[in-house]
Amino acid sequence: MQAKKVIIASDHAGCSLKEQLISYLEDKGYTVYNYGTNDPNTPVDYPQKAFYVAKALNRYEAPFAILICGTGIGMSIAVNRYDFIRGALVCSPETARLARAHNNANVLILGGRVTDADTAKQCADIFLTTAFEGGRHTARVNQLEKMPHDF
Ligand code: RB5
């Protein structure tokens, strides 16, 4: 069985939800690598956090990561700039499940100002334990790293 490890980071707007998720996941036996921010009162730019998380994923610190900003939108735009990242902005347990099952997402993205803590915990649980279905989804996911640029 794969070790239960997860990378996590947020900006100031996602900090409170991040802290709640860290406690929740640690109680469930996960090793959580926290890349901050740990201060909700000092603004932090979300692209910087997305970069650190991409870097940690790139060196296989953990198989999955969680990123949180106010809406999840900024983190989503930022982290998906890296072609080995499949970041999914999720708002419900069902979208968390489908992000793994159909999209083989490796980053769960949440909005700290728009998603309540209980929903976020359920999303994290499901995301971290759902397998990619493969099959018809494999060819589609494989295309993502080879998106054409011949505009
Ligand atoms: C910060 O105020 C906010 O803009 C940020 O957390 C995020 O929602 C951006 O997409």
Is the CB of 79 within 6 Å of ligand 1?
no
Output the pLDDT for position 1. Answer: 52
Ligand 1 atom, smallest distance to 111 CA: 8
Q: Which residue has the tokens 């490890």?
A: 5
Residue with CA nearest ligand 1 atom 5: 70
Per-residue pLDDT of 111-143, as tens digits, reads 999 999 999 999 999 999 999 999 999 999 999
Q: Is 48 left (phi over 0), alpha (psi -120 to 50) or beta?
A: alpha
**11 pocket-lining for ligand 1 (C-beta < 6 Å):** yes
CB atoms within 10 A of CB 22: 18
What are 74-85's pLDDT values in tens digits?
999 999 999 999
**Burial readout 69-78 (b: 16 or more C-beta within 10 A, e: otherwise):** bbbbebbbbb
Domains in the chain (CATH in brackets) are: 5-146 (3.40.1400.10)
pLDDT at 3 over 90: no
Residue 90 identity: V
Q: How many whole angstroms from 79 Cα to the centroid of ligand 1?
A: 14
